[in-house]
Amino acid sequence: MNGRAIVLTVVGFLVGVLAAGSIGVRVIREVRTTEDATSLPPENISSTTVPPSTVKSEYFVDPNELIISSTALIPLSIQASGDEVSVDYELVSLAPRHNVPVIQFLGNFNRTQTVEIDDLPHIYPRRWVLHTTDGETFEGGPANPSARIARFDVRDGLSLSEIQSIEIVEVLVPYPIDVPFTLDQQLSPRVVVVPGVEMELIHVSDQGSTTIVQVAINLEDHETADFFVAGDGPGWRSAFFEAEGRRRVNLTWVGGELPDEIPLLATGTVWKAIAGEFTVALEGIE
């Protein structure tokens, strides 16, 4: 997925966040055991009644959920093996999805692509801390924003019974970037469009009536930024990555003589940290 796609998906995501905050989400309610039991028929009173101290009476998706921004993080399982502890989890957006249309965007080679609402980005719980009953701490987390397993390198033989708590201490949320800029072959072949993201003019070559402009995207942190470059304004035909996995974009100019200051547009996403530390509920997961 290129940067233009990511910008549009994040815009959809942020709209959903605002909607969720304004209209709320239906809360699933468990049976309240504190209600007057004498008002119920005798057959409804049995040993299956759960004490209120062992289960959440109200939640959105799951009793063990952890609400961060407009997303529910649900721990699914925890395992200890050798010198590693891993926590499998799921992320569920709480933003309304009913009647939300698919998002269309112009991708490589001017091809129209679509993104379903379920493919919108979630939060990125990047850094986790595990505390043991002996006072030890171990840092861990998922490998990337798409991963759903947080891993910890711990001392060999650590058992689950020794884990006192697990906290998420760094959470990132996506923000869209749409920045026009210019590159000059002589004066400014490199431009920092946003902190941590630099655009560099690599090569310009004339090919008959067209000119190929090659731009490199230099990221300070590849894990927390994703960008694409397109031409800004008339005269541009297409833009595409030079090769899979390489952050170099080839742009085709057909507007006559290429301007000294080449007008370009950087689009993409940066992940920004939000304040807060969040305790993962370990009760009820295996």
Alpha carbons 77 and 169: distance in angstroms, whole number: 20
Question: Could you tell me if 144 and 181 lie in one domain?
Answer: no
Alpha carbons 135 and 30: distance in angstroms, whole number: 36
Question: Could you tell me if 163 and 181 lie in one domain?
Answer: no
Question: Could you tell me if 110 and 250 lie in one domain?
Answer: no
In a domain, 284, yes or no: no
Which residue bears the tokens 């003019």?
Answer: 201
Alpha carbons 268 and 177: distance in angstroms, whole number: 5
Read off the amino acid at residue 151: R
Q: What is the pLDDT of residue 89?
A: 96
Q: Tell how many helices (H) and how many strands (E) occur in the chain.
A: 1, 19
Q: Which of 16-25, 116-125, 184-193 has the lowest mean pLDDT?
A: 16-25
Question: Could you tell me if 168 and 31 lie in one domain?
Answer: yes
Q: What is the pLDDT of residue 282?
A: 87
For residue 258, list its beta bridge partners.
none
Q: What is the pLDDT of residue 148?
A: 95
Q: What is the pLDDT of residue 99?
A: 65
Question: Could you tell me if 182 and 165 lie in one domain?
Answer: no
Q: Which of 71-75, 109-113, 225-229 has the lowest mean pLDDT?
A: 109-113
Alpha carbons 129 and 152: distance in angstroms, whole number: 8
More confident residue, 51 or 253: 253
- State whether residue 14 is helix, strand or coil: helix
Question: Could you tell me if 83 and 219 lie in one domain?
Answer: no
Inform me whether the pLDDT recorded for 62 exceeds 50: yes
What is the DSSP secondary-structure string of 194-256? ETTEEEEEEEEEEETTEEEEEEEEEES-TTSEEEEEEE-STTEEEEEESSTT--EEEEEE-SS
Average pLDDT, the chain: 77
Domain limits at 63?
3-174+273-279
Inform me whether the pLDDT recorded for 267 exceeds 90: no
Q: What is the pLDDT of residue 235?
A: 93
Question: Could you tell me if 128 and 247 lie in one domain?
Answer: no
Tokens (6 digits) for 247: 């952050």
**pLDDT band for position 226 (50/70/90)?**
confident
Inform me whether the pLDDT recorded for 51 exceeds 90: no
Q: What is the pLDDT of residue 22?
A: 38
Question: Could you tell me if 193 and 144 lie in one domain?
Answer: no
Question: Could you tell me if 151 and 241 lie in one domain?
Answer: no
Inform me whether the pLDDT recorded for 8 exceeds 80: no
More confident residue, 114 or 150: 150
Specify the number of domains making up the chain. Answer: 2
Q: What is the pLDDT of residue 283?
A: 82
What does DSSP assign to residue 48?
T
Inform me whether the pLDDT recorded for 106 exceeds 50: no
What pTM was estimated for this model as a whole?
A: 0.65
